[in-house]
Every structure is written in structure tokens, then in C-alpha cells.
Structure 1
């Protein structure tokens, strides 16, 4: 039944995609972030829904009368430079065949991220995209939160198998990214039932993130909530809510959860933590030795034998920063950090220039919440191999579109003032 439902939704959307490529982008985000087909038990998990949606979206974009140019700006140029550099580093990859396979997968993600930047132009488009992201990740937040409460936090929460967010650490970080977006939608609606529904979803998503037993998620939650509090207008109320709820939530979790969180301060005795540090040393040593890095798929015994302090402890990078460093060298890491910095600064520009205009209150709220999402990703991503996770790139596209809309509004106000 689930397989048939997803199939009906996807094929019913194709005429809408042909009519407007924005619909194609929204469907792509839904299928790639939520991965609803993985919840089926028949043919759906292996059916090429994403490819069908991507092809139809590109066809719709090619035949549409809508603008087909990328928005000019630092974020766009930095992303294009990073994409180009990934192709260059693949030419010098340690494992050419495996690197080419992974490059093809990553380029699909980057292509659709660029398409998102092209077609998401209006406030309505941005708002709909945020809703799709919240629905896609909120589904697992509600599901995982209920599971955590029902089981008393005694079992870990996992994401959909075979996806970016399949692991317990990964689903936790994805939910942390989603929570500020839920808050933005809450600020944007006047419907009481929607606000209450989003409040429940945020609380359950937080419980699901904690129920993942991810230590990195705990740090990411703290960073995300801290920035949301700093960006809020009612800081006293926010501090009171956090002070009231945090002890209740932490006391609800079982003793073994507490023991795992306490191990953050004792990482030297933790095999998993030391394995990650060993992988980070490997990435740094490799980047020093090879200007272009090692290319994709370098977590192999041969590479660790050459560059790791402990050659026998072979691990994935477990860090977006060291993943970029090991696979694409210091230039790749610099481009990735530049991309994040430009996105952050662009969001800050939106906040600074839209605060005194009621018509731009939505853009200020969105920019603040995207910053909260990105700080959570920046902290949690320091411990996960999620360099190519697509959600942050969609948020970059949202920032690009929101800044363009803010600039248009400011320009129109200036013309009227004259």
C-alpha cells in the first residue's frame, strides 16, 4: 500500500512539474530528503522516483518561460567553484573508479541544488520549500519522538535505511536543522492549530534527537537553541522556557543515556572517538602530502597505512571539515568554509536590512532561523561525514532567494521615497 501511495503521488505530480519547474524542485526535495519510497516494502525502495522527477524538472525548466539564469552573488560563485574543484580533484583521485562513481552521485545533488537556486524566486516559493523540508524531516521527528517517549528513551532512534539520514547520529542532526525551520513557519502563520501542531512537532523532534543517543547532537542542540535564544525578541520568556523544559527532558532520559553523554569529557577512553581523531589526522596528513587531496572514497586501509597515526583503525572522516580536507585538499576545505561564511553573512545582511519593514518581517525571521539551523549543522557536522547532505544546500538557495527579494523591496521603497 505504501509503495502504491508514493507511486501515485509522484506520477500525479508530473503534469504539475511540466507546468511549473518549481513544483519539480519541491517534489525533488521531498523525495530526496524524506525518502518516502524507503518506507515501502515492495518495489518502491528501488524504483527510480528521483531520476524521473529530476528529468521532468529539467525538461520543464528548459521549456519554461521563467528566467533560467543563476542569481549572481558570492554564494552562487562559491558553490560553482566548489563543484568545479571536486571535478578537478577527481582527476587526481587515489581510487579513480570509486571516485568517479561517487562524483556522479554528488554532481546530481549539486545540479539540483543549482536548479533550486534558479527556480526559487518568490516569497511563496521559498515558503513552500521550507514547508516541504519541515514535512519531510518532521515526519521522522514525530515518529522518533513518540518512540522515545513510549520506550522511555531506552532504545535508539534511527532514520530511513540507505539514506543520508539513516544513522542515529545523522537523523538527529537533520532534526536539529529542521527545528528552527519549524519555528519560522510558526511565526509565519496566524492559524492556532498550525502553531500548536508545530510546537508539538518541535518538542517531539527534540526528543527524537536526544533519543538517538548522539553525543554530537547534544552539542548541536545546545548551539542551535543558544542562537535561537539570541535571535529571539523575548529573551526572558525564551530563557524561562528552556530553563523549565531542559531539566524535565534530561531527567526523562534513562541512566545509560546520561552515561553516554558524560563520555564526551572522557573521549580518550572511547574507541569511537579515538577512531574519529585518527581519521582526522589521516585527512590532515593526506592533504599536506597531496595538493588535490585524495578524491572521493578514501576511507580504505591503504590510505590509512600511508597517512594515519594508527593504520589499523580505518574509519570514515566523521566530520564535514575533515571530509572536505581529505577528499579535496586545503583548497576544497577553504571553498567549503567560504561557502558557509558567505551564506551566514548574507543571512545577517537580510536581518540587518529588513528589521524595520513589516513587509520584510518574514525574511528577517527566516534568515535568523536558517542561521540557527546552520550553526546546528556546523557543530554537529564536525562529527559526521555529511559534506554532501543536500538540506544545507537548499537552505543556501533559500538565503539567495530571500536576499534577492529583500533587495527588491528595499529598491522599491527607495524609488517611492524619491
Structure 2
């Protein structure tokens, strides 16, 4: 039954995608992030839904009359340079076969990122994109939160198999990154029922993050909450709300969860932590020895024999930063960090441009929450191999699209005020002339 429903939804979208490529972007994003096909048991499990949606979207992009705008901003230029540099490093990859297979997967992600930036233009499109992002992963927040509460937190919350988020730590990063967008949906909800539902989803997603047993996600959550507290105009109220989370964790989670979190302080006694440090040193050695580093999938036992301080302890990168350093060198890491910086700056520009406009509160709220998402990804990602994860680049799509909308010409932005003044003039029985 699940298979039939999924086939019906995806193929039912195709005629609409032909008319509007943005619908294809929304469908592709849903499939890529939620991976609903991995929740089926039949023909849909390995069916190439994403490839079909991408192909139809590309066709629509060529023939549709919908506006297509790819702005050349600091964030998008660095994004383009990062993609170009990754293509160069792949040409000189150490593990050629593995590298080209990974290149194929990563380039599809970036291609659809460029398409999304081009077609997500209007207020309606941006809001729809935010909803798709939030609910695609909010599903696992809801499911994982219930699992944690009902099971007493005794088992790890994990994602669907054979996906980016199949691992408990990877799912935790995804949930930490998406949590601010779910909160944005709550902020914008005018309906009491919807606002209550979003509040519940935020709480359940928070419990799913805790139930993942991810130490990196715990640190990321702390960093996001601290940022929100610093930026809050009501610090006492915000601080008390944050403190209320602590008793809930103590009530729900078992002793082994606290024992797991305590290893953050004793990393030298943690074999996995020392293995990660060995991998990080490996990445630095590869980058120092080669301008283009090792290319995709350089973290292999064979390469560890050459570059790792301890070649017998093999681990994956376990850090987005050292993953990029080992695979694309210091130039790649500089571009990756610059992209994160300029994405943050884009959010700042959007906030400045929209804060004085009564009609743009939703823009300011969404930009602010995207910045919080970047903090979550940046901190949690320091311990995970997810440098090319779709969700992060979808956050960049949101910020660039918000910038297109917020930084329109002054004439466009002031039209509502002009109309308001004209109406006031007409209503005044004794206008001053």
C-alpha cells in the first residue's frame, strides 16, 4: 500500500511540474530529505523517484515561462567556486573509482541546489520550500520523539536505512538543523490548532535529538539555545524556558544516556574520539602533501597506511571540516568556510532590509531561524562526515531566495506606504495643501 501511495503522489506531480519547475524542486527536496521510498517494502524501495523528478524539472526549466533568477551574490559565487574546485580535485583523486561514484552523487545535489536558487523566487514559493524542509524531517522528529518518550530513552533513535540520515548521529544533525525551521512555522501560525501542533512537534523533535545519544547534537543544541538567549529581548523568560528542558531530560532518559554524554569531558579515554583525532591528522597530512588533497572518498585503509599517524586505526572523517580538508585541500576548506560565512552574512542583510517593513516580519523570522540552523549544522557537523548533505544547501537556497525578495528596489518596497498615505489623504476632510 505504501508503494502505491508513493507512486501515485510522485507521478501525480509530474503534470504540474511541467507547468511550474518549482513544484519539481519541492518534490525532489521531499524525496531527498525524507526518503519516503526507504519506508516502503516493495517496488518503490529502490525506484529512482529523485532522478525522475529531476529530469522532469529540468525539462520544465527549459520550457516553462515562470521567472528564473540566479543572483550572483557573495554566497552564490563562492558556492559556484566550491563546485568548480571539487571538480578539479576529482580529476586528481587518489581513489579514482570511489571518487567518481561520490562525484556523481554530490554533483546531483549541487545541480538541484542551483535549480532551486533559480526558481524559488516568490513569497509563496519560499514559504512552500520552508514547509517541505521542515515537515520532511519533522516526520522523523515526531516519530523519534514518541519513540524516546514511550521507550524511556533506552534505545537510539535512527533514520531510514541506506540514506544520509540512517545513522543516529546523522539523524541528530538533521533534526538539530531543521528544528529552527519548525519553530519558524510555529511563529507564523495564525491558527491556534496549528500553533499548538508545531509546539508539540518542536518538543518531540527535541526529544528525538536527545534520544539519538549524539554528543555532537547535544553541543549543537546548546550552542543554538545560547545564541537565541543572547539575541532574545526577553532573556529571563527565554532562559527559564530553556531551563525547563533539563528536568524533562532527567525524567525521561536513563543513566546510560548521562554516562554517554559525560564522555565529552573525557575524550582521551574514549577510543572513538581518539580515532577521530587520528582521522583529522590524516586529513591534514593529505592536504599538506597535495594541493588538490585526496579527492572524494580518500578516507580509506589504503590511504591511512600512507598518511595516518596510526595507520592501524581507521575511521571516516567524522567532521565536515576535516572531510573537506582531506578531500579538497586547504583551498576547498577555505571555500567551504567562506560559503558558510557569506550564507550567514546573507541572513544578516535580509534581517536589516526587512526589520523596518511591517509586511516582512515573516522574512525576518525565517532569515533568523536559517542563521540558527547554520549554527546547528556548523557545531554538530564538526563531528560528522556530512559536508555535502542536502539540507545545509537547502538552507542556503532559502537565504538567497529571501535576499532576492527582501532586497527589491526601494520603489517596490515603498509602494504599500505610498498607497497608505494616499488613502489617508483622501480620508482627511481638511487636507493641508
The TM-score bracket by the shorter chain reads over 0.9
Match of 2:408, SS state, is helix
Per the alignment, residue 203 of structure 2 pairs with: 203
Per the alignment, residue 385 of structure 1 pairs with: 385
Q: How does 1:241-320 map to 2 (within 5 A)?
A: 241-320=241-320
Q: How does 1:67-216 map to 2 (within 5 A)?
A: 67-216=67-216
Relative to 1, partners in 2 of residues 1:97 and 1:183: Cα closer, same or farther, differing over 3 Å?
A: same
Aligned-CA RMSD value? 1.4
User: Could you tell me how far 1:249 is from its partner in structure 2?
Assistant: 2.0
Q: Is the 8 A contact 1:113 1:394 kept in 2?
A: yes
Match of 1:4, SS state, is helix
Q: How does 1:321-332 map to 2 (within 5 A)?
A: 321-332=321-332
Q: How does 1:389-404 map to 2 (within 5 A)?
A: 389-404=389-404
Per the alignment, residue 341 of structure 1 pairs with: 341
User: Could you tell me how far 1:238 is from its partner in structure 2?
Assistant: 1.5
User: Could you tell me how far 1:79 is from its partner in structure 2?
Assistant: 0.8
Q: Is the 8 A contact 1:295 1:327 kept in 2?
A: yes
Q: Deviations over 1:50-96 (max 9, x none)?
A: 11000000011111112334212111111110110010001110011
Per the alignment, residue 14 of structure 2 pairs with: 14
Q: Deviations over 1:261-280 (max 9, x none)?
A: 00100011111111111000
Separation of aligned partners in 2, 1:67 and 1:389: 27
Pairs aligned (count): 418
Q: Any gaps of 5 or more consecutive residues in structure 2?
A: 419-433
Separation of aligned partners in 1, 2:312 and 2:122: 52
- Is 1:356 aligned to residue 356 of structure 2? yes
Per the alignment, residue 220 of structure 2 pairs with: 220
The TM-score normalised by the length of structure 1 is: 0.97
Q: Is the 8 A contact 1:123 1:405 kept in 2?
A: yes
Per the alignment, residue 431 of structure 2 pairs with: none
Separation of aligned partners in 2, 1:189 and 1:171: 26
Q: Is the 8 A contact 1:228 1:368 kept in 2?
A: no
Q: Deviations over 1:353-394 (max 9, x none)?
A: 221211111111111101111101000000000001001101
Q: Is the 8 A contact 2:148 2:211 kept in 1?
A: yes
Relative to 1, partners in 2 of residues 1:188 and 1:95: Cα closer, same or farther, differing over 3 Å?
A: same
Q: Is the 8 A contact 1:354 1:363 kept in 2?
A: yes
Relative to 1, partners in 2 of residues 1:121 and 1:69: Cα closer, same or farther, differing over 3 Å?
A: closer
Q: Any gaps of 5 or more consecutive residues in structure 1?
A: none
Match of 2:152, SS state, is coil
Separation of aligned partners in 2, 1:232 and 1:128: 27
Relative to 1, partners in 2 of residues 1:307 and 1:319: Cα closer, same or farther, differing over 3 Å?
A: same
Match of 2:71, SS state, is coil
Match of 1:292, SS state, is coil
Q: Is the 8 A contact 1:294 1:326 kept in 2?
A: yes
Q: Is the 8 A contact 2:69 2:117 kept in 1?
A: no
Q: Is the 8 A contact 2:20 2:60 kept in 1?
A: yes
Separation of aligned partners in 2, 1:353 and 1:85: 32
User: Could you tell me how far 1:187 is from its partner in structure 2?
Assistant: 1.2
Separation of aligned partners in 2, 1:39 and 1:410: 48
Q: Is the 8 A contact 1:228 1:369 kept in 2?
A: no
Q: Is the 8 A contact 2:69 2:121 kept in 1?
A: no
Q: Is the 8 A contact 1:180 1:228 kept in 2?
A: no
Per the alignment, residue 430 of structure 2 pairs with: none
Larger CA Rg, structure 1 vs 2 = 2
Per the alignment, residue 53 of structure 2 pairs with: 53
* 61-70 or 154-163: bigger deviation: 61-70
Q: Is the 8 A contact 2:320 2:384 kept in 1?
A: yes
User: Could you tell me how far 1:232 is from its partner in structure 2?
Assistant: 3.4
Match of 2:45, SS state, is helix
Separation of aligned partners in 1, 2:409 and 2:229: 28
Q: Is the 8 A contact 1:38 1:160 kept in 2?
A: yes
Match of 1:311, SS state, is coil
User: Could you tell me how far 1:245 is from its partner in structure 2?
Assistant: 2.4
Separation of aligned partners in 1, 2:410 and 2:222: 35
